[in-house]
Structures are given as C-alpha cells and as structure tokens.
Structure 1
Amino acid sequence: MIKGNPQLNKDNFTFSENYQNGKYPYFTRTAFNNGILGYVNYLDDEHKIKGNCLAIGMIAMQFFYMEKDFYAGQFTKRVIPKGFSLTSRIATYFIILLNKNQQKFQNLLVRNFEDSFNKTKVQLPIKNGKPDFDFMESYIAELENERLYKLDTYLTQSYILTEEEEKILAKSQNIQWGEFKMGDLFERVTSKKLAFKAEELPKEMTGDYILPCLTSSFKNQGLNYFVPKDEATILQNVISIPSNSDIYRSYFQSNEFTILSDAYAVRWILDDVELLPDQYLFAVQCINKVTDLPIYSYKNKLGGWNVVKDKYIQLPIKDNKPDYELMATLISAIKKPILKKVALYVEGKRETTKAV
C-alpha cells in the first residue's frame, strides 16, 4: 500500500548532515545516502513517519528501506506492507524487484505514479500458494554473506602494516618539514566554462547528465550536480579548491569530474613528478591547514588562485625536496587502522549473517 508523506520543507528547521547530531533521518528526493539528506531531532508527531517501510522520492524514483521513524521532504512517498512484516532483508528483496521499474516510473508524471505502482507486478517465490518470506530472508542473507566474505578477505589483507609503515609511524613526531610556495608546487588547470546554472541541473545521474560537476560546496566534496560529458573539460586525479565560499576546504578528486562555478582545480608540477593518490591526499591535508581558515570568508574573497598560489604550505622533506616516499607511506599507514575497524565490523556482520 502506497501513501504520501506528511512533508516538511527543510527551510522551516535546521538539520545536520551528521547522524550524531540528529535522531531522525530526513528523507528527500535525493538518490544519495539511501535518500537521506540529513538528520533532525524531534519536531512533532504530526509529521513524524513510522519506520519499517519503503520510501521513494519522485525524481530519482529509487526505493529505499527506512528502518527507523523519519521525517520527509516534498514529493516523497512511502510503501507500507499489507498482511506481512518487513525485515531489512525482505525489504532488500522487494527493493531489488521494484527498482527494476525505475525507468518506467521516471517517465511518469508524479500524479500518475501511484496508479502505475499499484498496477506493477513482481515475481516472488511461493510456498503453499503464498509468498515464501523465509526463502527471501535466507536468500538475501546468503548474498550478504558471500559479499561480506569477499570484503573481509580484502580488508584483512589490506590493514596489516608493512615494516616500512611501522617505522614511519614510529618516527612521525620527528619528521623534518620544509616550506613550499603553492605556485611552485601546483598549477591551476584550465577548464572550459559551462553554459549551465546549478539550479538548472539534476542532483542525480539521469540521461546524458552523468558527469559530476564542481561548485564551492563542501558537501560530497563539492560534487553535487551532473552535466553531459559533451564539450565539458573532464578532469581526474587533481585537487579541487573552492574560490567563493565560507569554507575553503580542498579535496583530492580521484574520479572524473568537471568544473561548474566558484571553484577550480590544481595539479602537481614540481620536479615533473606525477603524484600517487596517497601523496595527493597528504598534500590536501597540508593545504587545508593554510586555506581552511576563518579569514578566507566569502566576504573577504581570498579563495582565488591569485591569492592561494602565493601561500606557503609545509611538507616533509628529504635533501631539501618533498619526501614523496614518506608522504605515500604515512598516509597508507594512517588508513590501515581505520580499515581494521571496518574489518572487525564486517566480521561481526558475517557472524550474524551466518546464523540466518
């Protein structure tokens, strides 16, 4: 059974992107993060929606499982089971079936969605003439366990520190640092200006709009819109920096993207060295110590490359040059304890799944 949600406009309250600062998910039309734009604390019972249901936004037309009570934005609906109870795995089974109809639903007008949904047929396993929910539960558990096993194996191999990494961590307090001018380390990448405005663009991939584009936002590393690849300057393995923002935080962009507005990209040029991803990640943290500061506010207009190129950052040095090997090894060593925590979480999930 499908129902419309009591809708709240996010302009009427404050919400946090971090679940630790809000108890209830705020579900919207986005396809990112399971449709959850952010988190809010208790608002009121009138708008609070009971969890353990499926929810769908009227743009991406993707179904998601909402386990806990939540609030919702405009143009969202929920699907409530009739005559049976959802579990996370049974919900996953239905989501896989329903999302096969995504293209069909996207071609509909919003007002026609409910009628089309009610007429949509899906194939289910049956037992004694009724849906076999036990099979659905165990089938999804089996798939989970298979993928968790692969992930567990990969992580176990990935979080063990090498002898060199252990040495680097042991002496990390005694690293020799040197100062380098940003303009000597990086050059600004030239990109073609796009004839789009952010408000005109989709926030999810759709049709030809498949290339993420950069703005001054710090959400999702500044990549919150999509444009066609045709005639766009496609960038990859560079650092992005906002030029017109209240938060001047740089990011390493490892995947393909382009630039829309109020931001730019820089690439390493010193010593004709092609930096590895971990070395770029190291450089990003060093840049942010200099640029991600309150003085670089929107009002002061200090984020442009003409200003940033004259700033100095500190890097570890060897023979008066950046110590490239240390940069890569230290970042790799820092990531591994985090991977170990993920591996322990996956191991716990596997034990639960095995029981099912």
Structure 2
Amino acid sequence: MKWGAFSFGRMFNRIAQGHRLKKEDQTSGDLPFVMAGITNTGVVNYVSNLIERFPANSITVDIFGNTFYRDYAFGAGDDTGVYWSTEKHYSKAVMLFLAAAMRKSLEGQFDYGKKLRSSQSLNLKMMLPVKNGEPDFAFMEKFIPEFMRQLVTGVEHEHVEKVNAYLAVTGLKDCTLTAEEQKAVDDYTHVVRMDRTKLEAFRLETLFGMATRGKRLKSADRIPGSLPFVTAGEKEEGVSAFIGNDVTVFPENTTTIDMFGSAKYRNYAYGADDHVAVVHTENLPKNAAIFVTAAIHKASYTGKFDYGRNFYAKDADDLVISLPVKDGEPNYDFMALLIAAIQKLVIKDVILFAERRIAAYRKAICS
C-alpha cells in the first residue's frame, strides 16, 4: 500500500468552528452539544438552543486534537472544529478512515498551551492510502468494514474465552440449573423467605466452637512471602500483604469477621491480625460455608461495630445467626445446593449482560 499526505483543506470544503454557549445558557432539548474532551465523545449536553446545527457525517476536532466521527446532527462549542464536505459524498466508512488518519496526525501536538483552531488547520496533513496519486477511497471502503468485523469478532472471542475460563475455575460446565437446584431456589424464595419459621437461630460457638483471634503483626515486621495476610477493611477483601513470617496459618474454607463486623469467606489458607476473628467452618461443604458466611455477615455487619467499639472473637462466639433447618438441625445440604444455584444464576446474568453489550457494540460499529 502506498501512502500520501493530504491537507485537511483539500479533503473538506467546509471547515467551521463551533459557537460559545455557556453552560448556564444551555436549555434542555434533543440536539447533542459537543465540546472539547473525550468523555462521552465530547457530548456534554442535549440542548434546544437556536444554534448552528452541523450535519451528520461530519468530523469534529477539539482544541486538544481529540477527533471523533459524528453520524448525527449536532451543535458544537467554540472549542471544537467541524469538518465535512458538500462537494464530495464521503461514505461513513471513508469518514471513519479520515477521522482515524486525522487523529493520528494530530496526536500529542496540542494542549492548553497550544490549542488547535479549525481556521489554522487547513494546511495540516494526514496520511492516506493512494492510487494513481489520489486518495484510494475504494481501499478505505473495504478496509473499515473488515476492520470492524475483526474488531467485533475479537471482542466476542475474548468474551467466550473469559466465560469458559471462569466456568473451568468454578468447576461448572454450564449455567443451567439442575432440577434439584431449581427446587432449592423455589423453596428458598417461596418457603424460607416468606415463612420465617423455616429458619432457626443458632449461636455461632455452638455450631463451630470458639472463634480464633489473629495476632498483631506490624507492617514494618512483615517479611515478603506468599501467605495472604488478612486485616480489617474492604479493600482487596482485607488482604493487606503477602508475607513469609512464621504466623498461625488458618485453613481454607473458613470465615473471617473483621473489627467492623464484616464477614468474608476464604477459600485459601491465610494469616490474620488481631483485628480479625476466624470462625472455623472448615468442615462444612464449600457452598454451605459460603451460605453461613452470608448469614454471619447479616448478623454482624449492622453498624454496631466501628473504631470506637471493635468486633472481637468473643463477639463471634455470642453471635446468633438464622439458618434453614431440617429436623431441627442446620440443613447444610440445602444451603450448599442453594449457593450452587445462585452461583449459576449470577454467572448466567453476567453472560447475558455481556452478550447484550456485544450486540449493542456490533450494531453501533457495524451499522
């Protein structure tokens, strides 16, 4: 492919600057109003003011060189230049190619200290494919749809790979509920949630023995290593460091409650500081332990505990949680089944959400 330099003024016979319209003067309407910036491609408002309406199939370039193709009519502020042609009918594909070429040519050249004005841009040049010394519009027409197709294909492939990887990690083949899982969801929805007598209260110490309190390990004394070290807080699930110190290692499949009462399930071995209480759920099936963690969090994270009054291991021992029962005992099989179903439903919702986004993406860039 041969390339040549072509001025903005040669490619567009209409180059104009937008008009100043203060924010306080903008009246609500349906006309997109474009100003300098990349957020929402520069569309800052929808207005009804009597201002110049620039035509669809135009390109905007703001004072910083940010370049966007517009396939709709719009208004523009005085910090935005508009480029279009009334002499040549450029297709959407060609205009997209030109916008990309302009963006490439302007990259890094303009900022607050050196602003771009459309009146000064006529002799600025972009690089375009050429044939017989002229812009090769036929190539641009073919290139853009193929580029868009490959772009969408890449996004779809990435989505499929992520879904498959997540299913593999979670040990799932698909997101279809089994008959038992569907029944568990129905039972919980229509029986447990609506009839509180199906839940019974249990003291945490009675179920799992006394909770264990972690031990203080100052930041300065922590040796880098591979053991997750849990402290109070929500950031990174409370994991503040990975250490190599000789500390008590708590087993996976247990629940931590920090000094604020926030409970979290841990599917890995870890250390913990003195602001963390460990509830020994390790003998439960994994999904049942997750259910119990949710029940603990509901009972402990109520706003009762803060910097002035910390949650300690003794508070965990006295904590009362509500669980589904069978013959008067916690029904861990039901809990495990319900969490397995919820996991599938959540993954299914994420997949459907991603598929809707991909469909919208395909429609937006391939139409």
TM-score by length of 1: 0.51
The structural deviation recorded for 1:252 is 0.5
1:174 to 177, 182, 191: 191
Check 1:256–1:85 CA distance in 2 against 1; reply closer, same or farther (3 A cut): farther
The structural deviation recorded for 1:136 is 9.4
Distance 1:137 1:256 in 2: 46
Report SS of the residue matched to 2:318: coil
**Correspondence for 2:255:** 239
**Correspondence for 1:267:** 280
Distance 2:229 2:149 in 1: 41
The structural deviation recorded for 1:287 is 1.2
Distance 1:149 1:208 in 2: 36
Unaligned runs of 5+ in 1: 1-48, 53-65, 70-81, 87-126, 202-206
**Correspondence for 1:323:** 331
Tell me which amino acid in the other structure corresponds to 1:241. I
2:309 to 300, 303, 306: 300
The structural deviation recorded for 1:283 is 0.6
**Correspondence for 1:194:** 217
Tell me which amino acid in the other structure corresponds to 1:220. E
Residue by residue, what CA displacement relative to the aligned partner does 1:16-63 show, whole Å, maximum 9, x if unpaired?
Answer: xxxxxxxxxxxxxxxxxxxxxxxxxxxxxxxxx9557xxxxxxxxxxx
Distance 2:37 2:66 in 1: 16
Please give the root-mean-square deviation of Cα atoms over the aligned residues, in Å.
4.3
Report SS of the residue matched to 1:158: coil
Check 1:294–1:193 CA distance in 2 against 1; reply closer, same or farther (3 A cut): closer
Tell me which amino acid in the other structure corresponds to 1:215. T
Distance 2:42 2:231 in 1: 33
Distance 1:294 1:183 in 2: 22
Report percent identity of matched pairs: 21
The structural deviation recorded for 1:184 is 1.8
Contact 1:145/1:353 (CA < 8 Å) preserved in 2?
no
1:38-53 alignment runs, 5 A limit: none
Check 1:287–1:341 CA distance in 2 against 1; reply closer, same or farther (3 A cut): same
2:294 to 273, 285, 290: 285
Distance 1:141 1:232 in 2: 50
Contact 1:238/1:254 (CA < 8 Å) preserved in 2?
yes
Question: 2:167 aligned with 1:145, yes or no?
Answer: no
Contact 2:213/2:313 (CA < 8 Å) preserved in 1?
no
Residue by residue, what CA displacement relative to the aligned partner does 1:128-155 show, whole Å, maximum 9, x if unpaired?
Answer: 8xxxx98998877655432312345676
Check 1:143–1:226 CA distance in 2 against 1; reply closer, same or farther (3 A cut): farther
Tell me which amino acid in the other structure corresponds to 2:262. R
Residue by residue, what CA displacement relative to the aligned partner does 1:237-281 show, whole Å, maximum 9, x if unpaired?
Answer: 2111013x3xx1111122343213411222127xxxx22332122
Tell me which amino acid in the other structure corresponds to 2:243. P
**Correspondence for 1:332:** 340
The structural deviation recorded for 1:306 is 1.4
Deviates more, 1:321-330 or 1:175-184: 175-184
1:158-169 alignment runs, 5 A limit: 158-169=174-185
Report SS of the residue matched to 2:184: helix
Contact 2:214/2:276 (CA < 8 Å) preserved in 1?
no
Distance 1:177 1:193 in 2: 37
Tell me which amino acid in the other structure corresponds to 1:174. V
The structural deviation recorded for 1:325 is 1.0
Unaligned runs of 5+ in 2: 1-35, 44-63, 69-127, 130-142, 193-197
Distance 2:186 2:327 in 1: 21
Distance 1:219 1:68 in 2: 33
2:241 to 207, 226, 240: 226
Contact 1:196/1:260 (CA < 8 Å) preserved in 2?
no
Tell me which amino acid in the other structure corresponds to 2:180. E
Residue by residue, what CA displacement relative to the aligned partner does 1:168-199 show, whole Å, maximum 9, x if unpaired?
Answer: 222224242222211122243465643435xx
Tell me which amino acid in the other structure corresponds to 1:229. G
Contact 2:214/2:273 (CA < 8 Å) preserved in 1?
no
Distance 2:246 2:200 in 1: 41
Check 1:298–1:152 CA distance in 2 against 1; reply closer, same or farther (3 A cut): closer
Report SS of the residue matched to 2:256: strand
Check 1:252–1:152 CA distance in 2 against 1; reply closer, same or farther (3 A cut): closer
Report SS of the residue matched to 1:309: helix
Question: 2:265 aligned with 1:252, yes or no?
Answer: yes
Check 1:351–1:300 CA distance in 2 against 1; reply closer, same or farther (3 A cut): closer
Deviates more, 1:334-343 or 1:146-155: 146-155
Distance 2:152 2:331 in 1: 47
Tell me which amino acid in the other structure corresponds to 2:346. I
Check 1:142–1:85 CA distance in 2 against 1; reply closer, same or farther (3 A cut): farther
Check 1:140–1:212 CA distance in 2 against 1; reply closer, same or farther (3 A cut): farther
Distance 2:272 2:42 in 1: 37
Distance 2:234 2:217 in 1: 20
Distance 1:258 1:237 in 2: 13
